[in-house]
Structure 1
């Protein structure tokens, strides 16, 4: 654990604020919200790759679509089949 992670644990602070950790919220198998991402790496109807501060996030599925995105969050719809942290 890094010093920042230890301090976050000791002080009971949210890791998304202190470490910039990605927040992924999946609703069922057809909707996902991604918060605290840095950039979009790849976007096809079968795969979306996203760069976060701590890792790369891969979402695999069918008929994937980014419904909206801002500098801080995005909404993805389609049939979600697999999520990978690389």
Structure 2
């Protein structure tokens, strides 16, 4: 077990802080907030694919768009039908 994981488990420190894990907050089927992403791989109105530190995250649906993004967070809006982790 790595040192970061031991510290996280022992002291209850959130994994997004110590491990750089992605944080996904979904509001209904129309909004998603993603924190700690690394980059945008694919961006169409039916699919948005992101790279995180540990995996790829794919949003599928209709009329998808990125409302805003910063260095480490973004908001996706539209009719979200599916979210996949690869």
TM range (shorter): over 0.9
Instruction: Report 1:1-86 matches (<5 A).
Output: 2-3=1-2, 4-86=4-86
Report the TM-score, using the length of structure 2 for normalisation.
0.94
Note the C-alpha offset of 1:76: 0.5
- Unpaired segments ≥5 residues, structure 1: none
For residues 9 and 44 of structure 2, the distance between their equivalents in structure 1, rounded to whole angstroms, comes to: 37
SS at match of 1:32: strand
Quote the RMSD (CA, aligned, Å): 0.9
Pairs aligned (count): 85
In the alignment, the residues of structure 2 paired with residue 8 and residue 47 of structure 1 have an alpha-carbon distance, to the nearest angstrom, of: 33
Whole-angstrom distance in 2 between the partners of 1:6 and 1:78: 39
Q: Structure 1: how far apart are the matches of 2:8 and 2:54?
A: 15
For structure 2, list consecutive stretches of 5 or more residues without a partner in the other structure: none
In the TM superposition, structure 1's runs of 4+ consecutive aligned residues that sit over 6 Å from their partners are none
